Amino acid sequence: MKKTLSIILTLGFIIGFGTSCSNDFLEVVPKTGLSEATLSNREGVRLVLIGAYSLLDGVQTNVGSPNADWHGSADNWIYGEVNADNAYKGSISGDQPEISFIEQKQIQADNTHFRGKWRAVYDGVARSNDVIQLTGKAKDMTDAEKTSAIAQARFLRGHYHFEAKKMWNMTPYIDDKIYNSADENTTKVPNDKDIWSNIEADLQFAYDNLPNRWANEPGRATKWAAGATLAKAYMFQKKFAQAKTIFDAIIASGQYRLMDRYHDNFRAATNNNAESIFEVQHSVNDGAAISNNGNRGATLNYPFGGDGARTTCCGFYQPSQNLVNAFKTDDNGLPLLDNFNNEDVKNDQGLLMTQPFTPHEGPLDPRLDWTVGRRGIQYLDWGPMGRGYIRDQSYGGPYSPKKNVPYASDIGAGWTGNGNNPRFNANNYRMIRFAHVLLMLAEAEAELGNLERARTLVNQIRTRAANADGFVKNANGSNAANYRIGNYTAPWTNKDTALKAIRFETRLELAMEGHRFFDLVRWGLVANTLNEYYRVEGTKRAYLNGVRFTANKHEYFPIPLQEIFNSQLSGTPTLKQNPGY
């Protein structure tokens, strides 16, 4: 078990799925002399289980080497958003060119980002298998304790394989029966079988055997985290009836609700709130070196600096003009489903800071200004966003990322670490929240013909967004923009129209949270949507001019070239490359 037993087991780090803020479960002390013999017991299983949880953030223990922290980031900002139509890479053209290659569909199998993501998810699989194997050998654990440990490990194993499936489609499934970390050949499993059934089996076991919640231990997976992940896997396979059953059970549990204010899903002070179902927590000031646990996967994604910005780096992950345009509304506060991109929301592209600028005055969905930083609009509690927030506007456009960026007050409250560098912070990533469940259920209902139930669910999301207490405000308390959002009042009678509205709502609600590209793929809309995006966006961003999405190729990423080489048995690779690469 050499791979897993060398992991950092000194974490004061939390990975959370509940609504409590206690750190008890994942607070551990340094251990030495670790081996299979010393870990085949209750305490050893607990420590190795922590190691399996720790990779949910996608950052490996060897921070920065051989793969950068953001290669496997839990929020999939590169693969799910920059690779789609919600965000540009940002920064400047010469910084992190490997991300530019992904954005521009110049995708090659030797791009180091893909190997970084592969290593993160399959190291997570290995650690999960170690937990299961050790549990079987632990003589001081009760049957109930063993079932609990195995259910948590199988949830994690299912999640990590799900991440691989989304990225590469035909990927190997490695379970505890074939895995032996002392023999690397046991991991050289062919990718010649569809692994959805394996993922389902792991998540179903977790769903059947985990509790609804843990008392004061948000670090542990729950029944509903497993159920939501399983139902999401069903959605990817178009098993809408099966997904609906689980989503209905989550709602009926009464354990979750929409937060009153949309933005309370994106700040450290409201971690583990009533909307959170599957939450990857981050921590700082926990004794870990260089804030290893402080959301290092998103460490590039903050305003560049200047004009009151509270960070000094790095200017990546800039929202696209297409995304900003999607937040326009009509006089009734409804989105412009078909013509949202005909005219741009006003921006300050090309203006100097000394030149006057009045932000867009037309009606806008209020979620825009919790998702996107715009010049002249209050940026969290930093003050109005200035031109200096952008590193190179001519390259990356006029907008800054905003979700999950720390508030200025978070610094004083101790939510940031490493010398008060706010880029390393304890703001969690909500991988699945209740709003996501409502939207997936709405989609399932529409696919099953229950259009009015679908409309009701979407309106729940829009009603929360319309809460004026959650609007971005100017310093004098007035609304920062012309916010107008309304519900769908006319009955939905056409399935295609209903699905268009649901998918549009999903984009608005979950923008910049890492889901967009994978949703477009499972909806079968990715080629047409992205090629239209490149056609228009190429007139605004020169580096996107002429970019094309190739159907039946770009839906999935290439299997990392080094992993194909490493998979050789008797000189023949066991991994087969994806079509087109």
Show me where the domains of the chain are located. Answer: 2-281+430-448+515-573
Fill in the amino acid letter for 382: W
CATH architecture type of domain 2-281+430-448+515-573? Alpha Horseshoe (1.25)
Mean pLDDT within 370-385: 95
pTM: 0.93
Which tens digits make up the pLDDT trace of 193-209? 999 999 999 999 999 99
Asked whether 20 and 218 are in contact (CB, 8 A), the reply is yes
12-21, 67-76, 107-116, 369-378: least confidently modelled range: 12-21
Mean pLDDT lowest among 143-157, 381-395, 547-561: 381-395
CA gap 8, 51 in Å, rounded: 7
Q: What is the pLDDT of residues 390-403, one digit of tens each?
A: 999 999 999 999 99
pLDDT value for 1: 35
Query: Would you tell me how many other CB atoms lie within 10 Å of the CB of residue 198?
Result: 18
Q: Is the dihedral of CA 508, 510, 512, 515 positive or negative?
A: negative
> Given this model, what pLDDT does residue 28 score?
45
> How confident is the model over 522-558, as pLDDT tens digits?
999 999 999 999 999 999 999 999 999 999 999 999 9
pLDDT tens digits, residue range 409-422? Answer: 888 788 888 766 78
d(CA 283, CA 211): 25
Q: Of the ranges 1-5, 49-53, 333-337, 412-416, which one carries the lowest mean pLDDT score?
A: 1-5
Q: Which two tokens stand for residue 221?
A: 């997976």
In this structure, of 263-272, 277-286, 420-429, the range with the lowest mean pLDDT score is: 420-429
Please report, rounded to a whole number, the percentage of residues in the chain having pLDDT higher than 70.
93
pLDDT digits (tens, 9 = 90+) for 176-186: 999 987 788 88
Does the pLDDT of residue 20 top 60, yes or no?
no
Q: What pLDDT, on a 0 to 100 scale, did the predictor assign at position 7?
A: 38
pLDDT surpasses 90 at 5: no
Is the pLDDT assigned to residue 8 strictly greater than 70?
no
pLDDT at residue 307 above 90? no
Of the pLDDT bands very low, low, confident and very high (cuts 50, 70, 90), residue 13 is very low
pLDDT greater than 60 at residue 23: no
pLDDT band at residue 33 using 50, 70 and 90 as cut-offs: low
pLDDT at 16: 37
For residue 179, the Cα-to-chain-centroid distance in whole angstroms is 28
210 pLDDT band, cuts 50/70/90, is very high
Q: What percent of the chain is predicted at pLDDT more than 90?
A: 79
Residue 416 phi, psi dihedral angles, 5° rounding: -120, 160
Tokens of 202: 């792991």
Residue 27: strand, helix, or coil: coil
Q: How far apart are CA 127 and CA 181, in angstroms?
A: 10
